[in-house]
């Protein structure tokens, strides 16, 4: 629960007190200077006798005193009013963060100005919206995973119990079914692991970069996936230009691996999956080209968002979770690069670029 700060300890009182003090001093000093200057000028003219001089000084003092008091009062009131309006959205943010801290998702803080406070509130509202969206999507993903886990677990349990009870005689077909269910379980568990990986890659700054020959790291990823592609009877071809880049090696290998894994799951023909690496102006461009279901133009950006699932039935078949491309996007952006996809006539080219050291450190 938001604890209201006592007025005399609040920011509004402190700002008002400091500014009133400074304004009051300025008004009093100015009035003092005006009073003495006026008195000296009138006295130097010599047109007034002592009694008239005294009355003039007394009257001037009274007018200046009234002026000082009125100016201080009006200035204090205006400052208090304006400062209160300025601090009001900050107090709203405090209440909002208290609600967020307690586990809720508060309504956006209302503020129309585009000054620094307005920009802060706008960023805060966007943050709340993003957190709410991420939580809802994550909850849905966990719910989906939980639901999908029940089927292979039930199948495995049922088959194993039937074999144990002697109700069925195990043969090659049954063992194949059990193996396929175990593979499905493995993929679902991998998806759960990727939930943790996504948060890990999101917070990495990848400052540990080093100049390296990129070809050896691309080849390392190709060698890692060779057995998987051979098992799926999908040829894997590469055409890689040599280039020295300043990168976080672990991060870039993760990006390439995620794109290769994505191509492996969604490739639909016997043609080769091609990996290209080439200089592209100020950048080095790496692409993975495969044939499969064409990606609609309105989904080509969305597939890199967290937990986005383009096709529910297709995703369940291949075990995809919508996390691999989001992880790749996080890493590429930390390298000041770009990532995207070109899809046309059932050919999908997933690409990303990394700035060459000569242009960006």
| pLDDT tens track for 302-351 | 888 766 655 544 444 444 555 678 888 888 988 899 999 999 888 999 99
Q: What are the tokens at 95?
A: 């209440």
Domains 140-203 and 210-355 share a fold: no
Q: What pLDDT is stored for residue 338 in this prediction?
A: 94
- All structural domains of the chain with their residue ranges: 7-107, 140-203, 210-355
Low-confidence ranges of the chain (pLDDT < 50): 1-2, 312-319, 359-361
Of 78, 63, 79, the C-alpha closest to 31 is 63
Q: Does domain 210-355 have CATH number 3.30.565.10?
A: yes
Chain segment 245-300, per-residue pLDDT in tens = 999 888 898 899 889 988 988 888 889 999 999 998 899 999 999 998 888 888 88
Residues 321 and 308: beta-carbon distance below 8 Å: no
CATH number assigned to the domain with residue range 140-203, chosen from the 4 options 1.20.58, 1.25.40, 2.60.40, 3.40.50: 1.20.58
Q: What pLDDT is stored for residue 339 in this prediction?
A: 94
Strand pairing report for 236-240 and 273-280: parallel
Give, in degrees to the nearest 5, the angle at Cα 273 between 267 and 278. Answer: 135
Q: What pLDDT is stored for residue 350 in this prediction?
A: 95
Q: What pLDDT is stored for residue 207 in this prediction?
A: 63
Q: Give the C-alpha separation, 140 to 307, whole Å.
A: 9
Residue 350 phi, psi (nearest 5): -90, 125
Alpha-carbon distance values, 305 to 92, 324, 325 (Å) = 31, 10, 8
């Amino acid at each position: 629960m938001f604890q209201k700060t006592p007025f005399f300890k609040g920011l509004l009182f402190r700002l008002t007190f400091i500014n009133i003090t400074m304004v009051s001093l300025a008004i009093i000093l100015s009035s003092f200077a005006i009073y003495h200057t006026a008195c000296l000028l009138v006295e130097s003219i010599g047109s007034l006798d002592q009694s008239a001089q005294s009355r003039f000084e007394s009257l001037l003092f009274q007018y200046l005193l009234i002026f000082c008091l009125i100016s201080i009062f009006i200035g204090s009131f205006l400052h208090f009013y304006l400062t209160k309006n300025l601090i009001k959205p900050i107090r709203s943010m405090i209440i909002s963060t208290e609600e967020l801290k307690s586990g809720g998702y508060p309504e956006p803080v209302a503020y129309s100005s585009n000054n620094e406070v307005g920009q802060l509130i706008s960023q805060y509202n966007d943050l709340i919206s993003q957190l709410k969206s991420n939580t809802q999507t994550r909850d849905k993903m966990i719910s989906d995973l939980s639901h999908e886990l029940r089927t292979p677990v039930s199948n495995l349990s049922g088959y194993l119990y039937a074999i144990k009870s002697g109700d069925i005689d195990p043969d090659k077909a049954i063992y194949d079914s059990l193996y396929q269910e175990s593979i499905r379980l493995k993929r679902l568990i991998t998806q759960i692991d990727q939930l943790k990986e996504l948060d890990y890659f999101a917070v990495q700054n990848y400052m540990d970069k080093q100049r390296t020959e990129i070809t050896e790291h691309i080849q390392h990823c190709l060698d890692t996936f060779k057995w998987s592609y051979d098992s799926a009877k999908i040829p894997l071809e590469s055409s890689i230009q040599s280039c020295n880049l300043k990168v976080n090696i672990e991060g870039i290998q993760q990006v390439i691996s995620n794109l290769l894994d994505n191509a492996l799951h969604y490739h639909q023909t016997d043609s080769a999956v091609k990996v290209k690496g080439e200089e592209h102006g100020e950048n080095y461009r790496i692409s993975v080209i495969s044939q499969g279901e064409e990606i609609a133009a309105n989904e080509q950006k969305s597939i890199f968002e967290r937990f986005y699932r383009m096709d529910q039935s297709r995703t369940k078949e291949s075990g995809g979770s919508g996390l691999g491309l989001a992880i790749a996007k996080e890493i590429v952006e930390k390298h000041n690069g770009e990532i995207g996809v070109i899809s046309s006539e059932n050919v999908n080219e997933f690409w990303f670029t990394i700035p060459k050291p000569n242009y960006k450190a």
